[in-house]
Structures are given as C-alpha cells and as structure tokens.
C-alpha cells in the first residue's frame, strides 16, 4: 500500500504528513477548499466535499486504500464503490452503526458496554412520560453531524426542552430534527483512549487521558489520566470489545465519562484519529497518525507508549473573527520548556475554531513532580498557555 486516499483535509489529515514521509506513503486527499490544512501536504488533491461519492470514485482511482479523517460521508453511495472493489479501511460496515448518535448508543448498549440512559426523540409528544425516568437536566443531541459540542444541548426543564425541540424542528431540515435524548451524567472527569487495530487483528491502546471541556469543546488533555489500574483495564477491555466487534482496521477514539462513584461510561466513538490523541505526536514513540497509516497500509502496529513522564495538550481555539496568524503568541508559547506547537495554517480564525495545539512534555526538570502529581502540574502549564493565548 503506497498511496493512501484520505477523505477529509482538515488538521487530522494535515498531521498525517510526517508519518507518511517516514513510512514512504503518499497521501491523496479529498477536501472541498483550497485553504484546507491538508492541501499543503497532499501529493494530490480531489477538490470536493467529503460526502461527494463521485469524487471518492475519482480518489479511489488514484490510491490503493481509502481512509477517513472525517466521517460525515454518504455511506450508501460509498458502498457501491466498495462493492466494485474499492478498499476502505476501516471498512464501511465498521462506520454504519456509528454515524448516527442514537444508532451508536444502541450498538454500544447491545455490545454490553456501559452507556448513559438514552432514547430517541422525534416529536414533542409523549415526552413527559418518556423523560420521567431520566429526570432533569437532560442532554439533547442532534443524531447526525454533531462535533465540538455543536448540536449538543444541556436542558434544565421540560418547558426548555419543548421549546428547543420545536425551534430546532422548525429551523432545521427534517433529517436533522431527529434527536437523541440522554441522562445528564454528573461526571467526575472525562476520559478518552485511542485504540488501533491492524489487518491481522492485533490491537494496541494508547495511555488513557483526561480531557477537559469548556462549553462542550475540548480545551486540554492530560496524559496519562490519574485513574486506577482497574479503571484502565476496564477501558482497555471496552476498546478491545468495540474494535473486535466492528473488525476495525485503523484507529478509533473513545470518549468516556468517569462517574463520581468510579464507574466508566462510554460517551462517544470517533472512527478515526481524534483530538484526545494529539499528545501522541510528541509524547509517544508512534503517533496516532502513524498508527492509522500503519494499520490501513497493512503494516505491523507501532509502540503506543509514552516516552516521557506525562504530557499536556492544549488546544489553541479561535476567540475572534480574524485573518491573523498569531505569530507573537505562538512564539511565546513555543518558548515554554518542552513545548511543541502545531499550527494548522488555517487562513481564518473564528470563535471556537481549532487553529492549532501545543503539547508540553512533563519531563526532565519536572520529572519527579510529573511522576508524583501530573494533574496539578499539567493544569498549571495549561493555565500558562491559555494566559498567553487568550486576551485577558
Ligand atoms: P460532540 O460530538 O459534539 O463532541 P459529545 O457527545 O462528545 O458531542 O458532547 C460534547 C461534550 O458535552 C462532552 O465532552 C461533555 O462535556 C458534554 N456532554 C455530552 N453528553 C453528556 C451527558 N450525557 N452528560 C453530561 N455531559 C455531557
């Protein structure tokens, strides 16, 4: 496998570049716009939206295998290509139960994995009786195309829920007016794990991390999470069950809740590389991007373990509408010892947009402190970065 097609040309595809070079793999990317991050690193580009399957047919002719950096594809249309022999990794059947958040919850529950209580909502009628066993607050989610908290709403009471549903139903297309409603989990922390599975069925998991969200958007990731060995084992078992059940070839991100009584629940599956695995670029022997390429190219998987005591990854999120490249803030952040800044080269900043990230290795001079108490140290480093990045 020498030429890998990638559906989606955002930062997740852009970050595959170094690994592709290392493995001698060429990347051919399907992405809509000239300004998309991966345009600068691709050998060849098919300019088209990710759900344009006729563009994917063209992409398929230019490569040996196709993988995903964005899952908002048209699976029905792609399955025609698969029947004609186009090789998708992960296979389309591994994506089918995941693209709709309600279907995904059902799939996980049926596998016996722990998930929050949930049901599907189509109209406001009968809501009262259905919701009684959940209690408020509840979490309402668009079943499709949600990301970075878009389409996720925490709702405090029935009136607000009914209002939200009728507003969303009126303003959105029929397809988007289908919702998943679930219990609000008063989690103690949010966790995530990346797991890869090879063509031969070998599975490797990355260290479990703690993710910290603000307004449903990830702000920072601490690796490794300070959890018990038993919780790590439970999470690794979840990853194995899921990847084996779907016969995944590739890498998946699994987002989890750790409840106040120490239970682990699965929140969401990303069938690709994920923000919670970015630390692996600088902190692990094999990054999540190299692992994805290894898996889809049929190579043996690499060592996913941390090469340092710990790491903290902080997202550099847009906070204004601007064309600035934030050179001076990036420079200041890069001067933090052991900091690695990744700037995605997006030409436009918008509030909440992921423009880049920085990973700081908690090591060397801080090694003892990092080993003894990684979380407070990681939080302090993240605070320093955010105080440089965000205007006060
Ligand atoms: P997205 O696909 O947009 O990332 P998620 O389902 O991951 O949506 O939700 C984004 C964030 O919203 C989560 O990381 C968490 O902080 C919060 N959240 C989502 N579901 C729940 C829930 N059931 N209970 C409490 N918080 C939740």
Atom number of ligand 1 nearest to Cα 216: 11
Kindly give the distance from the C-alpha atom of residue 151 to the centroid of ligand 1, in angstroms, as a whole number. Answer: 10
Side-chain half-sphere exposure of 135, counting CA atoms within 13 A = 4
Kindly give the distance from the C-alpha atom of residue 8 to the centroid of ligand 1, in angstroms, as a whole number. Answer: 23
pLDDT score for 126: 67
What CATH code is assigned to 187-389? Answer: 3.30.470.20
Indicate if ligand 1 lies below 6 Å from the C-beta of 212: no
Indicate if ligand 1 lies below 6 Å from the C-beta of 259: no
- Per-residue pLDDT, averaged over 363-371, amounts to 66
pLDDT score for 370: 67
- Per-residue pLDDT, averaged over 2-18, amounts to 97
Indicate if ligand 1 lies below 6 Å from the C-beta of 302: no
Atom number of ligand 1 nearest to Cα 141: 6
Rounded to 5 degrees, what are φ and ψ at 29? Answer: -115, 135
Query: CB within 8 A of 160, min separation 6: which ones?
Result: none
Instruction: Give the span between the Cα atoms of 297 and 275, in whole angstroms.
Output: 22
Kindly give the distance from the C-alpha atom of residue 386 to the centroid of ligand 1, in angstroms, as a whole number. Answer: 22
Substitution site in 70, 72, 101, 267 for ligand 1 pocket (most atoms within 8 Å of beta carbon): 267
Residue ID of nearest Cα to ligand 1 atom 7: 268
Residue ID of nearest Cα to ligand 1 atom 2: 147
- What's the CATH fold of domain 3-88? Rossmann fold (3.40.50)
- Per-residue pLDDT, averaged over 240-249, amounts to 98
- Per-residue pLDDT, averaged over 60-64, amounts to 98
Query: CB within 8 A of 174, min separation 6: which ones?
Result: none
- In the chain, CATH 3.30.470.20 covers 187-389
Give the percent of the chain with pLDDT over 70: 94
Q: Are strands 354-361 and 339-343 parallel, antiparallel or unpaired?
A: antiparallel
- Per-residue pLDDT, averaged over 10-35, amounts to 98
Indicate if ligand 1 lies below 6 Å from the C-beta of 190: yes
Substitution site in 103, 135, 152, 258 for ligand 1 pocket (most atoms within 8 Å of beta carbon): 152
pLDDT score for 172: 59
Residue ID of nearest Cα to ligand 1 atom 18: 216
Kindly give the distance from the C-alpha atom of residue 179 to the centroid of ligand 1, in angstroms, as a whole number. Answer: 14
Instruction: Give the span between the Cα atoms of 174 and 154, in whole angstroms.
Output: 22
pLDDT score for 123: 59
- Per-residue pLDDT, averaged over 322-346, amounts to 96
What six digits make up the tokens of 362?
A: 């908690």
Residue 114 has pLDDT above 80, yes or no: yes
Residue of 70, 301, 131, 92 whose CA lies nearest to 203: 301
Substitution site in 139, 219, 276, 315 for ligand 1 pocket (most atoms within 8 Å of beta carbon): 139
pLDDT digits (tens, 9 = 90+) for 177-233: 578 999 999 999 999 999 999 999 999 999 999 999 999 999 999 999 999 999 999
Q: Residue 43: how many CB atoms within 10 A of its CB?
A: 14
pLDDT score for 174: 46
Residue ID of nearest Cα to ligand 1 atom 17: 216
Residue ID of nearest Cα to ligand 1 atom 13: 216
User: Strand pairing partners for 341?
Assistant: 358
Q: What's the predicted TM-score (pTM) here?
A: 0.95
- In the chain, CATH 3.40.50.20 covers 3-88
Quick one: pLDDT band at residue 365, thresholds 50, 70, 90? low
Indicate if ligand 1 lies below 6 Å from the C-beta of 71: no
Give the percent of the chain with pLDDT over 90: 83
> Which of 81-90, 106-115, 202-211, 361-370 is predicted with the least confidence, judged by mean pLDDT?
361-370
Q: Of how many residues is the chain composed?
A: 392
What CATH number does domain 117-183 carry, 1.10.760.10, 3.40.50.2300, 3.40.1390.20, 3.30.1490.20?
Answer: 3.30.1490.20
Kindly give the distance from the C-alpha atom of residue 216 to the centroid of ligand 1, in angstroms, as a whole number. Answer: 6
Indicate if ligand 1 lies below 6 Å from the C-beta of 182: yes
- In the chain, CATH 3.30.1490.20 covers 117-183
């Amino acid at each position: 496998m020498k030429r890998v097609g990638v559906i989606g040309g955002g930062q997740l595809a852009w970050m595959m570049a170094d690994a592709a070079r290392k493995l001698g793999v060429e990347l051919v990317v399907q992405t809509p716009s000239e300004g998309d991050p991966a345009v600068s690193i691709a050998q060849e580009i098919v300019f088209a939206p990710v759900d344009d399957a006729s563009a994917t047919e063209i992409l398929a002719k230019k490569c040996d295998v196709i993988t995903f950096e964005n899952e908002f594809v048209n699976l029905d249309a792609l399955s025609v290509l698969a029947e004609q022999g186009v090789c998708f990794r992960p296979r389309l059947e591994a994506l089918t139960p995941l693209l709709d958040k309600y279907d995904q919850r059902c799939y996980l529950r049926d596998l016996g994995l722990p998930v929050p209580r949930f049901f599907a909502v189509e109209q406001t009628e009968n809501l009262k009786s259905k919701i009684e066993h959940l209690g408020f607050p509840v979490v309402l989610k668009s079943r499709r195309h949600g990301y970075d908290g878009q389409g996720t709403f925490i709702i405090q009471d029935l009136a607000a829920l009914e209002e939200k549903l009728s507003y969303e139903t009126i303003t959105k297309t029929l397809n988007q007016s289908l919702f998943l409603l679930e219990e609000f989990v008063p989690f103690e922390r949010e966790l995530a794990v990346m797991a890869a599975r090879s063509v031969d069925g070998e599975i490797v998991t990355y260290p479990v991390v703690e993710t910290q969200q603000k307004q449903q958007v990830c702000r920072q990731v601490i690796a490794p999470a300070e959890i018990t060995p038993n919780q790590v084992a439970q999470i690794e078992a979840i990853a194995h069950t899921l990847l084996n059940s779907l016969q995944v070839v590739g890498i998946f991100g699994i987002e989890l809740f750790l409840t106040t009584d120490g239970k682990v629940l699965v929140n969401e599956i990303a069938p690709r590389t994920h923000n919670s695995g970015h630390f692996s670029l600088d902190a692990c022997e094999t990054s999540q991007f190299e692992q994805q390429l290894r898996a889809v190219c049929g190579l043996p998987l690499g060592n996913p373990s941390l090469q340092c005591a710990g790491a903290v990854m902080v997202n550099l999120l847009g906070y204004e509408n601007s064309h600035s490249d934030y050179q001076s803030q990036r420079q200041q952040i890069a001067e933090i010892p052991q900091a690695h800044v990744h700037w995605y080269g997006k030409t436009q900043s918008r509030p909440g947009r992921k423009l880049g990230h920085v990973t700081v290795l908690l090591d060397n001079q801080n090694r003892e402190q990092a080993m003894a108490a990684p979380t407070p140290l990681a939080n302090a480093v993240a605070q320093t970065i955010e105080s440089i990045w965000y205007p006060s």
